[in-house]
Amino acid sequence: MKADRRCRGIAAVLAALAGAWSVSVSAQELPRGRTGVEGVIELAMLCAAGSSDRTSTCRELVLAAMAVQRGVGLASALGSDVPGTSSTAGRRLGSVPRLGFALAATGIGMGMPRVSARSVEDLAEEVEPTVVGLRGVVSAGLLDGFQMAPGIGGILSADLVASYTRLWLPEGEGFGGASSGVGLGARVGILRESFTMPGLSVSVARRWHETAKTGDFGEGNPGEMETDFEVTSLRAMLGKNWFVVGLMAGAGWDRYEGEATVSATGGVEDPGAVTGRLASERTVYFVSAWYNFLISQLSLEAGVADGVSDPFEGRSGRYDPAARSWFASLAVRITP
């Protein structure tokens, strides 16, 4: 319990730091990558079943499902798939893969409608819970790639990357507590870092997460929502070490998709719980700095992710899906 509280405390500090960082970047004109969404309007119409009394409630519940997919999905994916490096690891001796192990404490800001409300009017309010968690990463260098010249190598090198994420969803907002996810992906080297050259790589990963649920009619909430989802992530990273310190910047793209089930307070024509598939996309930007020890490293990463266009014209709810999301992580990585 003490260790659990300590991890949550570290992640909460990270959330505060990333919040301050997000204020500084909010004034910058980063390229925006807002996209549309899939399945949101259709599921809201299915939930409302032609009743104008439930239209607003159903819209907020479906937007909450989308927000959870995007928020928890971002918490699983973060920025870099392997913290504190932009290069592939390669092999250690002959055909023996070079292994790396990392553990990161994370903090993510997530906006959403207030599903834990006591009335339909309160459901239209926006809440901004902070999701904290831990992510473990194991990487294995599979291919060394090609070398064109001294100091210019690692071309088409490849690592296999696996991850496990444990997130604590805020029970005060009606969530059921901790939730877990696993991921599997690969990082391909464009250029391995050397004394003179930076490291450049791209990665692709697929992550699967447990069902997340919020809202409870038994607690007097006007609706219930649950969703499972998968995350597909692409990343590009450029970085360089300077003796004991290093810096990295990167950008990427995420797609979140999964089945969502919503149920609103109903009447005679109440269809009950209805299910549909939702999907959305976003671009992600992140920076990282680290300090190197002998075989270990301490790194700090912060990033921002784009919002998505509101699918409902004239909606009165205060949750703004177009708002950006921030995240941060503090990681320890060991490469024996």
Structure confidence at residue 267 (pLDDT): 61
Q: Which residues pair with 328 in a beta bridge?
A: 107, 302
The mean pLDDT value for 72-81 works out to 93
Residue 21 has pLDDT above 50, yes or no: no
Structure confidence at residue 95 (pLDDT): 78
- Give the mean pLDDT of the chain: 87
Q: What is the rounded distance in angstroms from the CA atom of residue 263 to the CA atom of residue 80?
A: 36
Q: What is the rounded distance in angstroms from the CA atom of residue 141 to the CA atom of residue 91?
A: 5
Structure confidence at residue 268 (pLDDT): 55
Residue 308 has pLDDT above 70, yes or no: yes
Q: What is the rounded distance in angstroms from the CA atom of residue 329 to the CA atom of residue 133?
A: 9
Structure confidence at residue 22 (pLDDT): 44
Q: Quick one: which of 255, 216, 211 has its CA closest to 232? A: 255
Q: In the numeric block, which tokens belong to residue 300? A: 């700090």
Q: What is the rounded distance in angstroms from the CA atom of residue 212 to the CA atom of residue 136?
A: 20
Cβ-proximal residues to 218 (8 Å cutoff; 6+ apart), any chain = none
Q: What's the pLDDT tens digit per position in 23-67?
A: 444 444 444 445 678 999 999 999 988 888 888 999 999 999 999
Structure confidence at residue 176 (pLDDT): 79
Q: What is the rounded distance in angstroms from the CA atom of residue 43 to the CA atom of residue 87?
A: 42
Q: Quick one: which of 138, 143, 135 has its CA closest to 72? A: 135
Query: pLDDT-based confidence at 17, cuts 50/70/90?
Result: very low
- The DSSP output letter for 98 is P
Structure confidence at residue 154 (pLDDT): 85
All structural domains of the chain = 2-334 (2.40.128)
Structure confidence at residue 8 (pLDDT): 53
Express as a percent the part of the chain with pLDDT over 90: 60
The mean pLDDT value for 165-178 works out to 87
Structure confidence at residue 93 (pLDDT): 72
- The DSSP output letter for 217 is G
Q: Which residues pair with 179 in a beta bridge?
A: 167
Structure confidence at residue 26 (pLDDT): 42
Query: pLDDT-based confidence at 138, cuts 50/70/90?
Result: very high
